[in-house]
Amino acid sequence: MTNADLEKIVDTSDEWIVTRTGIKERRIAPQGMAVSDMSVEACKKALEASGLKSEDIDLLILGTVTPDYKLPSTACVIQEKMELPNATAFDIVAACTGFINGLSVASSLIETGAYKNALVVGSEKLSSIVNYKDRNTCILFGDGAGAAVLTASDDDSGVVGTFLKSNGNLRDLLWIKDGGSANPYTDDYVFTGEDKISMSGGDIFKVAVKQMCNAAVKIINDAGLTSDDIALVIPHQANIRIIEAIAKRLKINMDKVFVNIEKYGNTSAASVPIALDEAYRAGKIKSGDYVLMVAFGGGLIWGSALVKW
C-alpha cells in the first residue's frame, strides 16, 4: 500500500507522510493470511539459515499484538504448521518490543541449560487492527514477520545482554480500548473506532526518543563498551525522525544505523527482526560485530539487546 493509495482513503499526502515519517510504502497481508501464516514463512527461512532441523527446536516464542485467536497462543498454531514436535510455544504481548522481549526470554532460558534451540519470531497483521478512517495512525502501520534462531554455544558470540522496561501509567497513549475483558463487546456494542488502534503520536515521540536512548546507553555501558564499538544499530522502525534523533544523541553515524522504514512502515514486533534479517542478508553484519537492537512501543514499553555476532 503506497502513500498514493492512502491519499485516496484519508486526507493526507505523500509529501506529509514522507517528511514526517520517512514511510513510502507498507505491506498489507491478504484476507485469509493470518499472523501464523506470515510467521511460518519467516520461521522456515530462519531455520534454513541456521542449518537446524524442525525437531531440534525446543522453544518457540512469538511477539505479537495481532494473534490469530484470543485462545490459544499463535505460537501454538505456528508449532503445528512448522511441525515442531519437541518445542514448547508461547506468545509475548510487548507491542513493538515483542521481538526484543522474546530474545531476552529465549537467551535467558537457553543460559539455564533447560533449552538448546529457540525460534524467536516477531509477526504482525496490523492492518487488522488499524482504523483506516484515522489519518493519525493508518499511514504508519504495515504487516510483516521476521524470525531468528538462537542456539546454545560455548564461544563468546551471542546475546551479550538485554534490557527491558515499561511504564503502564502511559498505556492509554497507544492502545485498543475495547474488545478485551475490561471493555468487552456486548450485544449492544456500537463500533466507533475504539476497537482499533488509537495513539497520541506527539506524546509518544518524546518518550520514545528519550527511552530508546536510555536503553541503548544502558546496554552499551553494562557491556563495558562505547558507541564506537557498535558495528550496527537495528532500531525499531517507527519514524525516521525518531531514528535520526537517537543516532544523533548516541553519536552514532547514520551509516551504522539500519533503516528500511520506507518499504514497510511500522510493523510493531516484526520491525526489528525484518531489519535484522535484511541487514544480515545484505552482508552488513560479520562475525565478531556488536549489533545493537532497540525498540519502543505501546505499554508503554521499551528495551534493547546487544548481540555479538
- Residues belonging to the active site: 96, 236, 266
Residue number with the smallest Cβ distance to ligand UT7: 201
- Give the count of residues interacting with ligand UT7 (CB under 6 A): 20
Q: Which is nearer to ligand UT7, 35 or 43 (CB)?
A: 35
Contact 308, 157 (CB under 8 A): yes
Write down the least CB distance from residue 123 to ligand UT7, Å. Answer: 15
CB-nearer residue toward ligand UT7: 32 or 202: 202
Residue 192 dihedral angles phi and psi, to the nearest 5°: -120, 10
- Binder of ligand UT7 out of 170, 201, 214, 263 (CB under 6 A): 201
Partner residues linked to 92 by β-bridges:
63
* Residues of span 145-174 touching ligand UT7 by CB under 6 A: 174
Window 270-309: residues binding ligand UT7 (CB under 6 A): 296-297
Given candidates 139, 145, 240, 261, which one binds ligand UT7 under the rule CB under 6 A?
A: 139
Phi and psi dihedrals of 85, rounded to 5? -65, -25
- Rounded to an integer, what distance in angstroms lies between the CA atom of residue 185 and that of residue 168? 23
The secondary structure of 1-37 as a DSSP string is -BHHHHHTTSS--HHHHHHHH---B---PPTT--HHH
Q: Which stretch binds ligand UT7 (CB under 6 A): 14-22, 34-42, 66-74, 216-224?
A: 14-22
**To the nearest 10°, the Cα dihedral for 9, 11, 15, 18?**
-60
For residue 212, state whether it binds ligand UT7 (rule: CB under 6 A): no
DSSP letters for 105-124 = HHHHHHHHTS-SEEEEEEEE
> Where on the phi/psi map is residue 242: left (φ > 0), alpha (ψ -120 to 50), or beta?
alpha
Q: Which residue has the cell 515499561?
A: 166
28 binds ligand UT7 (CB under 6 A): no
| Residue 136 sits in the site that holds ligand UT7 (CB under 6 A) | yes
Q: Specify the residue, 19 or 192, whose C-beta has the smaller distance to ligand UT7.
A: 19
Q: Give the residues lining the site for ligand UT7 (CB under 6 A).
A: 12, 16, 20-21, 96, 135-136, 139, 174, 201-202, 204-205, 208, 238-239, 242, 266, 296-297
